[in-house]
Amino acid sequence: MTRIAIIGGGVAAHTLVKSLLTARQEDADLTIDVFTTEEHPPYRRPEVNKGILLDGKSAADIALPGGIFETPGVTLHLGTRVTAVDAAAHTLTAGNTTHLFDQLVFATGAGPRLLEVEWLDGRDVHYVRTPEHSTALRDRLLGLTAE
């Protein structure tokens, strides 16, 4: 059996799972575990500042095809941060659980650099990276137009 672990639940992770499933032999004994801090299955991130912010879509509306996560042997661990990797022991830690892997992929992308400066205190500053960010900003802007 080959156990593949992927850290990250963005388009890179999604594309990799799709490719692995396409390339695998019919009888291959393969498991794929995808760990993502996000609460949503992989989605089209460019839609975060378009479909969600401008049109009020939801994370489900902008999801990438989720059928691959129904494939036997493929597990999507939502809301699960990987906090440690032991490359020698071939283990990773997510929450209180230790997972064994044969191959590990980092598809962790990037996050916004959070500004920690005094002049920001009390100001209404938003970051735009996730559906939650965009929804919060949209609600704030709609609130302003209603005021």
Ligand X SMILES: Cc1cc2nc3c(=O)[nH]c(=O)nc-3n(C[C@H](O)[C@H](O)[C@H](O)COP(=O)(O)OP(=O)(O)OC[C@H]3O[C@@H](n4cnc5c(N)ncnc54)[C@H](O)[C@@H]3O)c2cc1C
| b/e map 76-97, b = 16+ CB within 10 Å | bbeebebeebeeeeeebebeee
CA distance 63 to 41: 7
Query: Contact between 138 and ligand X (CB under 6 A)?
Result: no
Query: Contact between 8 and ligand X (CB under 6 A)?
Result: yes
Using CB under 6 A, pick the residue from 12, 16, 21, 137 that binds ligand X.
Answer: 12
Query: Contact between 131 and ligand X (CB under 6 A)?
Result: no
Using CB under 6 A, pick the residue from 115, 128, 141, 142 that binds ligand X.
Answer: 128
Q: Beta strand pairing status for 91-94 and 97-100?
A: antiparallel
Q: In angstroms, what is the minimal distance from the CB of 108 to ligand X? A: 4
Q: In angstroms, what is the minimal distance from the CB of 147 to ligand X? A: 26
Q: In angstroms, what is the minimal distance from the CB of 14 to ligand X? A: 7
Q: Which residues, 30 to 89, sit near ligand X by CB under 6 A?
A: 35-38, 45-46, 48-49, 81-82
Q: In angstroms, what is the minimal distance from the CB of 27 to ligand X? A: 30
CA distance 138 to 49: 10
Interacting residues of 74 by C-beta distance below 8 A, sequence separation 6+: 17, 21, 31, 32, 34, 68
Which segment (58-66, 68-76, 96-104, 108-116) binds ligand X by CB under 6 A? 108-116
Binding site for ligand X (CB under 6 A): 7-13, 35-38, 45-46, 48-49, 81-82, 107-110, 128-129
